[in-house]
Amino acid sequence: MPKPKPEKVEAAFFDVDNTLVRGSSTFLFGKAAFKKRFFSRKDLWNFAWHQARFIARGETAKTLNQIKDRALGLVANHRVEELSSLTDLVYDDYISPKLWPETVRLAKEHIAKGREVWLITAAPVEIANVIAQRLGLTGGLGTIVERKDGILTGKLVGKPLHGRAKYKAMKQLAEERNISLKRSYAYSDSYNDLPMLTHVGHPVAVNPDKVLKTHAKAAGWKILDFKKRELRANR
């Protein structure tokens, strides 16, 4: 008799920037890199400008490309070990204070219910992994920076995990780990993640931009807005 197929598992997929972390995790990485003298104060101010726009306007392809291109240029020609040594500093000093407590609680609730929880972000995979590890989540998927002979080249391996590329990464992971997307959850703030959100059974809009909020309302999706709650708490 043929062996019965293993039962599919459930998972929850979380975007990082403006969903789990307030603002751009890549910019926060940039601040840590500046502290370690990876680059100049002028470059840090340019990063700060993009971070302010990112928080005010939400995620756009143009803003992401600006942040990505600057970040890649700044890490080029550094050793892989230097990048790895930054991740703990990035989390402790910069990312941890910027975490949305409500989103962290949701992620940990999924873990408690036996689901896998994956972070999927356009930020470097090292950032996704350190956040997942520190929060006790299953793992992270992120953009991969090319390495040659232990040196970062400043080029990408494949595409940034953004838009349809993020969905493709989620789909491939689901196939590898026997995950049922129909029974799974996805959380994001951006309309750019509609390919990911529309392919799970339980999509949730978190701190949504205008386009995603409109789509979520029309589709009857759950909407969580922690930004408004934060504003009320600070009055």
Active site residues: 15, 17
Among residues 20, 160, 156, which one has the least CA distance to residue 91?
Answer: 20
| H or E, element range at 11 | strand 11-14
Are the CB atoms for 168 and 159 separated by under 8 Å?
no
Can you list the alpha helix ranges (DSSP code H) found in the chain?
A: 25-35, 41-57, 61-75, 80-90, 101-112, 125-135, 164-177, 194-197, 210-219, 226-233
H or E stretch covering 10: none
Adjacent-strand bridge partners of 118: 13, 139
Q: Distance between CA 221 and CA 235 in Å, rounded?
A: 29
